[in-house]
């Protein structure tokens, strides 16, 4: 009597156009719109006209980069497509550096947003004074590990949570936007003052404009999330470009209106001196609505955190399958979740929950991200030349690719040439430090019996097993295909 075959453990393609758009909203509209206006104004020399122009330009650049980036996920429709693409274009060495950077930059970003979220939640309990560090850190840790438990429950629970939290934060941002428009329509002198002579202030230098762009583009960060989770999308060749166009357009409109609303109520100096611009704004307009704003801001950040945790775990899952991370990270739970990868990110983020300057952190993360994006655009051009017959369901115009590459070079090189800072050296040293891990553990594949014992212990403790992915692979032509039954039988 034949035994009943168990359901295969694979990443399930359950995310369609609606939830794909929700995912984009969730990760893009996070902490950025509540902290980046401060940085953009600072590096714009408090010039209101330049600041708003940079926000509009950031929208155009983000759309251009997102559409160029979408080709990666449609050509290689698997989770962690950026990593796989870099490995195919430039080899395992460059792909490992992409992985190495995300191994630390992603938990650092999660830790910073966790602290920001905890600060927004606890601030109403400490009116008129600073929030003590200990309760803020403890709350941040509790939030992160609760999100880890949610991710471990599977994709359906995550998409449900993202939908609810996105509705809440969109409601709050629409409230801020419409209130600002109403104040401008009423035409009070103090509300219109900042816009009458918007460009009269000092004009920033090229290096300052580059830094301001990094601040504004941080608010759009995350538009590549669908490429990272392409293995769980339905019909990625159609849904990725459609979701990108829908989400980035609406986000750009909301961001412009929110910034106009901030400036209609607060002066540029008040904005850059505030640690919570939205809370300061509501204290000036409707003080009794502070709780509602805090809830909206909190839901915005927590949904972005959840989406980042979800997508980053897929990167480490795929890297483990490719042999560049410990094997245990490529295992799945009974809910088809790479739970070990989720736990690894949370451990790193928990260690990094320390006080930090958010503006400096944005520059670190933004600077590294644009280096990687420039590398991907160069790889895309390289693959177009080397493999012109590679099936590409969605093919972006090369003008957008070269435009994104040019913007990447501007943002990376201008600060170094015009005003070099120590954090540029830190980024270089950190990136090169990956060599000490790549050659012994990846290139030469050094291991030990001790590591194997730890792997067996974790597999039993967490009740995880290898993914049953023998029936699907990325073909030599770059498309997702099924292995013929006779070939699969031979492999088993």
Most confident of 39-48, 139-148, 358-367: 139-148
Q: How many CA atoms lie within 13 A of 237 on its CB side?
A: 10
Its sign, for the CA torsion 147, 150, 152, 157, is: negative
- What pLDDT score was predicted for residue 472? 45
* Spatial CA neighbour of 407 closest among 203, 208, 217: 217
Query: Phi/psi at 29 (nearest 5 deg)?
Result: -85, 85
Q: What's the N-to-C CA distance of the chain in angstroms? A: 20
Query: Phi/psi at 447 (nearest 5 deg)?
Result: -150, -175
Express each pLDDT in 417-440 by its tens digit. 777 777 667 767 777 777 788 877
Q: What is the DSSP-derived secondary structure letter of residue 8?
A: P
pTM metric for this prediction: 0.77
- What pLDDT score was predicted for residue 39? 82
Express each pLDDT in 238-270 by its tens digit. 899 999 999 999 999 999 999 888 888 888 888
Q: What percent of the chain has pLDDT over 90?
A: 13
- What pLDDT score was predicted for residue 473? 38
Q: In sequence order, what are the residues at sequence separation of 6 or more whose Cβ sits closer than 8 angstroms to the Cβ of residue 339? A: 151, 152, 331, 332, 333, 462, 464
User: Regarding predicted confidence, which is higher, 5 or 18?
Assistant: 18
What are residue 480's DSSP bridge partners? Answer: 474
* Spatial CA neighbour of 231 closest among 95, 84, 96: 84
Its sign, for the CA torsion 134, 138, 139, 141, is: positive
Residue 316 pLDDT exceeds 80: yes
Express each pLDDT in 8-26 by its tens digit. 567 778 888 998 898 888 8
CA–CA separation, 244 and 252 (whole Å):
12
User: Regarding predicted confidence, which is higher, 294 or 239?
Assistant: 239
Query: Phi/psi at 2 (nearest 5 deg)?
Result: -75, 140
DSSP string, 35-73: HHHHHHHHHTTT-HHHHHHHHHHHHHHHHHHHHHHHHHH
Q: What percent of the chain has pLDDT over 70?
A: 86
Query: Phi/psi at 482 (nearest 5 deg)?
Result: -100, 140
Residue 488, CA distances (Å) to 14, 276, 328, 336, 470 in order: 24, 56, 23, 21, 7
Q: What is the DSSP-derived secondary structure letter of residue 7?
A: P
Three-state SS at 332: strand
CA–CA separation, 382 and 358 (whole Å):
36
| β-strand pairing of 465-466 with 472-474 | unpaired
Express each pLDDT in 102-112 by its tens digit. 888 788 778 87
Residue 353 pLDDT exceeds 60: yes
- What pLDDT score was predicted for residue 355? 52
* Spatial CA neighbour of 366 closest among 5, 46, 80, 31: 31
CA–CA separation, 329 and 341 (whole Å):
5
Residues 42-80, buried b or exposed e (16+ Cβ, 10 A)?
A: bbbbbbbbbbbbbbebbbebbbbbbbbbbbbbbbbbbbb
- What pLDDT score was predicted for residue 475? 37
H or E element at residue 473: strand 472-474
Q: Which two tokens stand for residue 208?
A: 């300052």
pLDDT band at 225 (very low <50, low <70, confident <90, very high): confident
Helix then strand then coil, % of the chain, to nearest 5 = 75, 5, 25
Report the phi/psi class of residue 45: left, alpha or beta, with left for phi > 0 and alpha for psi in -120 to 50: left
- What pLDDT score was predicted for residue 176? 87
CA–CA separation, 145 and 138 (whole Å):
11
* Spatial CA neighbour of 227 closest among 339, 101, 394: 394
Long-range contacts of 254-258 (CB under 8 A, 24+ apart): 254/29, 254/33, 254/170, 254/173, 254/174, 254/177, 255/33, 255/55, 255/59, 255/219, 256/52, 256/55, 256/56, 256/59, 257/176, 257/177, 257/180, 257/181, 258/33, 258/173, 258/176, 258/177, 258/180
Q: In sequence order, what are the residues at sequence separation of 6 or more whose Cβ sits closer than 8 angstroms to the Cβ of residue 65? A: 223, 373, 404, 407
Kindly report the average pLDDT of the chain as a whole number.
80
Q: In sequence order, what are the residues at sequence separation of 6 or more whose Cβ sits closer than 8 angstroms to the Cβ of residue 217? A: 58, 61, 62, 366, 370, 411
- What pLDDT score was predicted for residue 101? 83
- Mean pLDDT confidence for 83-98: 87
pLDDT band at 476 (very low <50, low <70, confident <90, very high): very low
CA–CA separation, 91 and 363 (whole Å):
28
Fold (CATH) for 17-491: Amino acid/polyamine transporter I (1.20.1740)
């Amino acid at each position: 009597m034949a035994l009943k075959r168990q359901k295969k453990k694979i990443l399930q393609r359950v995310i369609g156009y609606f939830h794909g758009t929700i995912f984009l909203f969730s990760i893009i509209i996070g902490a950025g719109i509540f902290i980046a206006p401060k940085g953009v104004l600072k590096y714009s020399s408090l010039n209101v006209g330049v600041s708003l122009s940079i926000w509009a330009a950031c929208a155009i650049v983000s759309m251009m980069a997102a559409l160029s980036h979408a080709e990666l996920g449609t050509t290689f429709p698997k989770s962690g497509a950026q990593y796989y693409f870099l490995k195919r274009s430039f080899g395992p060495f460059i792909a490992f550096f992409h992985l190495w950077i995300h191994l630390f930059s992603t938990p650092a970003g999660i830790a910073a947003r966790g602290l920001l979220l905890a600060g927004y939640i606890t601030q109403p309990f400490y009116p008129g004074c600073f929030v003590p560090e200990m309760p803020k850190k403890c709350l941040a840790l509790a939030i992160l590990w609760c999100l880890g438990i949610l991710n471990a429950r599977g994709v359906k629970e995550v998409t449900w949570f993202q939908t609810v939290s996105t509705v809440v934060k969109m409601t709050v941002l629409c409230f801020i936007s419409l209130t600002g428009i109403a104040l401008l329509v009423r035409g009070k002198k103090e509300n219109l003052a900042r816009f009458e002579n918007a460009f009269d202030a000092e004009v920033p230098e090229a290096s300052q404009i580059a830094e301001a762009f990094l601040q504004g583009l941080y608010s759009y960060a995350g538009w590549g999330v669908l490429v990272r989770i392409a293995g769980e999308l339905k019909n990625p060749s159609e849904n990725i470009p459609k979701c990108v166009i829908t989400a980035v357009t609406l986000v750009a409109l909301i961001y412009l209106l929110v910034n106009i609303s901030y400036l209609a109520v607060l002066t540029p100096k008040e904005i850059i001196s505030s640690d919570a611009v939205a809370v300061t704004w509501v204290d000036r307009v409707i003080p009794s609505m502070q709780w509602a704003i805090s809830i909206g801001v909190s839901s915005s950040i927590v949904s972005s955190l959840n989406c980042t945790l979800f997508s980053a775990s897929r990167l480490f899952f795929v890297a483990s399958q490719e042999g560049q991370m410990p094997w245990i990270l490529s295992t799945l739970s009974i809910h088809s979740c790479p739970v070990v990868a989720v736990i690894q990110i949370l451990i790193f983020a928990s260690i990094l929950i320390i006080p930090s300057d958010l503006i400096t952190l944005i520059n670190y993360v933004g600077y590294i991200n644009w280096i990687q994006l420039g590398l991907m655009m160069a790889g895309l051009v390289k693959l177009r030349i080397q493999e012109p017959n590679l099936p590409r369901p969605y093919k972006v115009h090369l003008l957008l690719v070269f435009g994104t590459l040019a913007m990447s070079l501007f943002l990376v090189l201008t600060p170094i040439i015009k005003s070099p800072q120590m954090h540029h050296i830190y980024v270089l040293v950190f990136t090169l430090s990956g060599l000490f891990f790549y050659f012994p553990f990846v290139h030469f594949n050094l291991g030990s019996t001790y590591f194997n014992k730890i792997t067996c212990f974790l597999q039993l403790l967490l009740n995880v097993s290898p993914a049953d992915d023998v029936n699907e692979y990325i073909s030599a032509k770059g498309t997702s295909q099924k292995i013929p039954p006779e070939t699969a039988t031979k492999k088993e």
